[in-house]
Amino acid sequence: MLYLCRDFRMDRGSMKHNDEQFAPLWELNELWETLTEEERTYAAEHAEVVYYEKNELIHSDGDESLYMWMLLRGKVRIFKEGIGQRQQIIRLLKPYDIFGYRACIAEEAYNSSASAVESCAVYRMPKECFSHLVRQNGSFCYQVMLMMAKDLAFSEIQTVNLTQKHIRGRLAESLLLLLKNYGYEEDGHTLAMLLPREDLANMSNMTTSNAIRTLSQFAQEGLLAIDGRHIQILDEKSLEKISRLG
Amino acid sequence: MLYLCRDFRMDRGSMKHNDEQFAPLWELNELWETLTEEERTYAAEHAEVVYYEKNELIHSDGDESLYMWMLLRGKVRIFKEGIGQRQQIIRLLKPYDIFGYRACIAEEAYNSSASAVESCAVYRMPKECFSHLVRQNGSFCYQVMLMMAKDLAFSEIQTVNLTQKHIRGRLAESLLLLLKNYGYEEDGHTLAMLLPREDLANMSNMTTSNAIRTLSQFAQEGLLAIDGRHIQILDEKSLEKISRLG
DNA sequence: GGCAAAATGTGTTAAAAAACATAATTTATT
DNA sequence: AATAAATTATGTTTTTTAACACATTTTGCC
């Protein structure tokens, strides 16, 4: 699958949009609360809202890291291309998560790609501005480091999950991850995240066929109910057991 | 394989040892150069040298993080236990690498285990002291964060390597990693790192049998020469190709 | 609404890798 | 040096998963 930029004539993402308003950074993610009044003004002045359509590419693995991003509305997948078109989804983002900050700090190219799962709004801040704040404010630096420490722990756990668990364990793990990250719809059972089977496969290190097949099996076993991309979790305990035992 | 503590009556590691002397922290890893004179004194006062024997466990996944460590002499493996005794080696350390710092900063338990590949000497610094320095000195915090950014990028690359490459690709990758990390002996061909096949397997996400078999294949193909644990790399280019193509 | 394209579902076959078995060799210990 | 234990080596079988094929359903678009 290709995630093409909607319109190659303009910079990625669009700045013109309806009159949707967003609160300033520090009201959305506690990360920014460590900034002083002055720094907040600086941050607000250098953050702009950009919009992406469903499946539009936000940045690509290997691109020069020009911006640090914070998701405002929608969902974003962070992924890496592996051997022969296969993608590995590294993590999925929800509003107010930041991304692209690692590359900005390390002064390296992005080491993964980001694309919109659904129509999105994001704040973007030029690398230099973000870097400046991190270098200037020790508390802010510490908060960013805490975030990175979480990402690192998660990545190392995922390595073991994805390499050592069997297909059923990996898929169960992914479903529970979606649950943890996005929760349920109002009905208290349906995952509040609609993913194509291909993405589910790319999260779980398996082929799309196997994601479809295994999901059907889970449904037959009464662990889930499937209605297209709407997935109801009926037996969380059993899913956890399948995930734990590999 | 079990890595048992040599003597359960004493705290892990031994402080009594021969009169080996080590330079202060800041002469060994540039990380510490960002500390002021005063902070250096503080760091030196709170870092003590500890010794570990071959295969001795330094810390265990899930242990409360009491220390941040810096390797002085020897080699250390960082690993996670997966499903059914299988270990995944997360990374291998060489002198002056630091480890256990992520858990100290996140104020979490260690999320992986560390054991000595060969007889080792390490500096250890209580979590509170390390944490204090990170919080007090913004430049130091930034340096530590840079290190974490490298570890995070590496971890994400490894996830894709280990999940998507085939056995030959994964083993070739591991061998090149050993080469990059430890280099050659004086002969310019023999890897300066002697690992049992089991560790090679645990690095490469495969069974020990398959590590042995694939290594033999590489030798038959003239890519390597094997003499017990001594591995001569004869055709680096071809190994890189095998690694790249998966 | 109708069409094409994409996504989902399911069965079959082939490839990859683990599991198992057993022998030979090396290493450690007494 | 002798012995036991661990590691290395190699062949065989079984399990797991990818690859392939094709039908069906859903979705997007004019």
Q: Is strand D in 7 Å reach of the CB of A195?
A: no
Residue partners of A164: CB distance under 8 A and separation at least 6: A246, B82, B83, B86, B88, B205
Secondary structure element (H or E) that encloses residue B73, with its range: strand B67-73
Which tens digits make up the pLDDT trace of A80-91? Answer: 998 888 899 999
**Residue A17: pLDDT band with limits 50, 70, 90:** low
Contact A20, A121 (CB under 8 A): yes
Least reliable range by pLDDT among A76-80, B7-11, B157-161, B188-192: B7-11
Q: What is residue B4's predicted lDDT score, i.e. its pLDDT?
A: 35
| Whether residue A214 has pLDDT greater than 70 | yes
Nucleotide lying nearest to B165, CA to C1' measure: C16
At residue B15, the 3 state secondary structure works out as: coil
Q: For the structural domain made of B165-245, what CATH number should be given?
A: 1.10.10.10
**Residue A201: pLDDT band with limits 50, 70, 90:** very high
Q: B14: which DSSP letter?
A: B
Q: Is strand D in 7 Å reach of the CB of A206?
A: yes
Chain A nearest C-alpha distance from B188 (Å): 31
| Whether residue B9 has pLDDT greater than 50 | no
Range B25-162: architecture per CATH: Sandwich (2.60)
Q: Flag if A105 and B137 touch (Cβ within 8 Å).
A: no
Mean pLDDT of chain A: 91
Pair of tokens at residue A181: 């990250």
The closest of A58, A162, A71, A152 to A105, measured between CA atoms, is: A152
Pair of tokens at residue A149: 């420490």
Q: Facing residues of A116 across strands?
A: A76
Which tens digits make up the pLDDT trace of A70-117? Answer: 999 999 999 999 888 889 999 999 999 999 999 999 999 999 999 999
Contact A71, A96 (CB under 8 A): yes
Q: For the structural domain made of A25-137, what CATH number should be given?
A: 2.60.120.10
**Residue B44: pLDDT band with limits 50, 70, 90:** very high
Contact A31, A24 (CB under 8 A): no
Which tens digits make up the pLDDT trace of B109-165? Answer: 999 999 999 999 999 999 999 999 999 999 999 999 999 999 999 999 999 999 999
Q: What is residue B10's predicted lDDT score, i.e. its pLDDT?
A: 37
Of the candidates B80, B102, B159, the beta carbon closest to that of A162 is on B159
Q: What is residue A18's predicted lDDT score, i.e. its pLDDT?
A: 58
Q: Flag if A159 and B106 touch (Cβ within 8 Å).
A: no
Amino acid letter for position A171: L
Alpha-helical segments (H) within chain A: 37-46, 101-106, 127-136, 138-164, 167-182, 197-204, 208-220, 236-245
What is the spatial distance between Cα A44 and Cα B210, in angstroms, rounded to a whole number? 55
**Residue B21: pLDDT band with limits 50, 70, 90:** confident
Q: Which residues of chain A make contact with B142, given a CB cutoff of 8 A?
A: 134-135, 141
pTM strictly above 0.95 = no
If phi over 0 gives left and psi between -120 and 50 gives alpha, with beta otherwise, what is residue B12?
beta
Mean pLDDT of A5-18: 44
**Residue A49: pLDDT band with limits 50, 70, 90:** very high
Q: Which residues of A touch B (CB under 8 A)?
A: 80, 82-84, 86, 88, 90, 102, 105-106, 108, 111-112, 134-138, 141-142, 144-146, 148-153, 155-160, 162-165, 169, 205, 245-246
Q: How many CB pairs under 8 A join A and B?
A: 129
Mean pLDDT of chain B: 91
Q: Where are the domains of chain B?
A: 25-162, 165-245
What is the spatial distance between Cα B23 and Cα B28, in angstroms, rounded to a whole number? 7
Residue partners of A9: CB distance under 8 A and separation at least 6: none
At residue A99, φ and ψ (nearest 5 deg) are -150, 160
Q: Facing residues of A226 across strands?
A: A231
